[in-house]
A and B are shown apart, each in its own frame.
Chain A
């Protein structure tokens, strides 16, 4: 057998908590790649946020050695981010593999995300090895899940290993399956270099590092490499493999998975999906499938303490070094001052960035309600992208507006179908299909404006379905829509950071709900505060926060002073989290709270 015959490149696809990281840990442990003492739970989840939330955004790739029938095999496990925000990245990781382990939870069965990722894997012509996990749980039903995999996904599952990644049961059958079921990579060691970038990261010492799958050819230290999309060239400083730590080696060759570092300044030069070749022996064409990733969700990010603008800017610049999909540009809000309009791949991506800014850079942030990118066609024949409600042109100069739509797949037990269909209708959804996959599972397909998805759709979906329904969606393009700007006035003044772009038919209901919500979240102050929702000059809803008339007429004698002062210090701290807008003090989370109004 040749060298390539002893290599398997594979990934693991799974719904968010079906056990991807745990299985990865067990594989690493079983193959002796890391000693037990080096293992911490879920070793491949590299960010604190991932470990804390128990979700995996990105796994570190790992090269493992496994002996099967007295022959040593090299197994390369490649990451797939398990979330809809990162679908493109998933597709590139899949393109670097020949096989995919599909984990299905023996207690939960197939979920929308499982299906979406499986389809992606099938699109990339991957061999699929289903694995049924969590058989240690009392409610596990392996046979039912086997049938589900066959019925819903349409792949045979009679040979699917039934395992418990947590308890380490049947892990060998997964390793054996990888070798038996997955094809070995094909590739020509002597052809010009074609390396697929399936991910990249920023290292403080090495700069941007490319994670690559070598499709053809060979690359070594000292080679001058060239990136197809940017056309830029660099000298290779180091190549190596992941164990999952970086271990330098002499060269990477067709079939290998590893990393290339070449003193590249930031990750926007090392685009996921791009092809690396050699400057002096160029491949004639890049690998197929490259796509520029564009943000789809936008929001304004401001520092609670207005004077920390520069810190916020530096923090965003640093994050951008390692996250090419984050975009930001300066935004000036009348209410919130200087900040940034940031673009994200989706809502989870947005949350991750916010959390990293707060945690890693110790910033207190105000985040405005997320919006999408609209195309505004003006009466003078031009068209512009608008993601910030404040940038929407005057109504008289707008010809029409288009908004992005997604095709949403919802998986749910049948009992929640009615509620979920209502939700989709309310959210201007266009019914496409309803399929009873089996007696326990229904697939709903709707085309829905993305604007409605970012408006707290997911939380509603989860609450209607008691957490059982799952959602996955794809952007399908733009459609003209009757959209208007809804303004919110505090104490008679427009607060631009609270403006929204909404559908005309929903403006009244949303306006009412928002003023009611704001009345709840803004504490009473020393004077009365009217809160109004308005379209243009027309007020459509109004609430009033009554003036605070009485706080505490308590006693305060010698023995009370220390306690009283501590209380005051605490209140003072709370006040610091407030932002003064005009004469009104607003808690920093009020700006996001207007999303949660259903």
Chain B
């Protein structure tokens, strides 16, 4: 396990470069993001540990970041002051571009993995905005009417966007549809709904709506997503059966702050929680492991080395399938191999 200390700053997000398996970025803020400056670190993994290649200072906390899919030196940050900034780690101390339209904190940013030339932002102001690096103004604004903690482009369709928000809903937007009264929205799924198919052994303890903090698209099954949030439960959804979750993965003692499906294995995902643990799960869909496409999911292992809220988790896209990075409010970034914590 490798470690990097972000002394004086509490990380909110860690992301692997889509170009190099040795490049990472971490964003966060002083004073837990409540007040004070933000900082963005570009890190290099070396045989001698993690080296800080460069850092940038910002006025306000950075709640999220995403690497550019078109430029290996560039990455975009989500600012507590509502700003988006594009930094170039080969250039200066300031961003090379910036955007300011959101009325409140920007909480997530995501680059389009398919067309690679658009990105999106989601904000506490209840909107998602779609942008391109070349234009000063946003291309599209999607109203969600609830604090949007997480928004993503589908990794399979360049025009499909999903959001999860404070109002306990997973929404699907299709930008190819006409911007009618629905503003491109094609689905709104209540996350707290009971599972569609009763699961043996699962008692629905949901007490109602739960703030949803994070979600991620499965990389191999193009209609499957996972969500997680304040009730500590990870749920998977299949957009072909949108009325309720397909699978439910309880276990975290407090809110789940971030989840990420493996880029290598179709049934595996990682989570980071306010219970300070990061856990690796299977949703039970892997036929080779006894699943039949909709089996029972389970926790396969956990990493419990963080000592404050675990906030960020990401998988390395390249090389062996277990490498990942996590960050937590203990001012640490850890790089480790999931296979070391998995039970047989």
Do A and B bind?
no
Q: List chain A positions with a Cβ less than 8 A from chain B.
A: none
